[in-house]
Amino acid sequence: MTSAAFSAPNVYSFTLNSIDGQPAPLAAYRGKVLLLVNVASKCGYTPQYAGLEKLYQKYKDRGFVILGFPANNFGGQEPGDNREIKSFCSRTYNVTFPLYEKSSVKGGDINPLYRFLTDKNENPSTGGEVRWNFTKFLVGKDGKVIARFEPAVTPESPELTAAIEKALE
């Protein structure tokens, strides 16, 4: 059942800007398994960038993509602008997976994708407000959310890698 406020059958319905400011439709990833992560440069979980990049390198040739969504919603831990964020990610963690422009993942100015991801009507088993940086949403090849992993679940964790491998089958 779709929400009366908006109707989006899956993540492919959304277009947000890339970190370089260009429209980047998620429909470009149709048929791939996605891991959507709200990221921040000055968080205790920031070292997860290294694990995310390893995960991306390990599975990208099998149709897996990580999409990073910088957000400053938690403790001011993403204070930089898009250029600074991109430079930090590249310089510090050699990030090559796609990054989107800085936006909000909760509250009144939440971006439309995260409004969809966290909507309990649209995604009853994975919805609910994002509580901190590095929350991970796993999306199947059909564009539907299949799992949510809280920040303490690292990119190397067996539960996350098992879910990715199952989704890639």
Active-site residue, 89 included: no
Rounded Cα distance between 114 and 126, Å, is: 12
Rounded Cα distance between 143 and 125, Å, is: 15
Which is the catalytic residue, given 8, 36, 43, 55?
43
> What torsion, rounded to 10 degrees, do the Cα atoms 3, 8, 9, 12 define?
-160
Rounded Cα distance between 125 and 118, Å, is: 10
CA geometry: angle 97, 102, 107, nearest 5 deg: 125
Rounded Cα distance between 85 and 150, Å, is: 22
Beta bridge partners of 89: none
Residues annotated catalytic, as ranges? 43
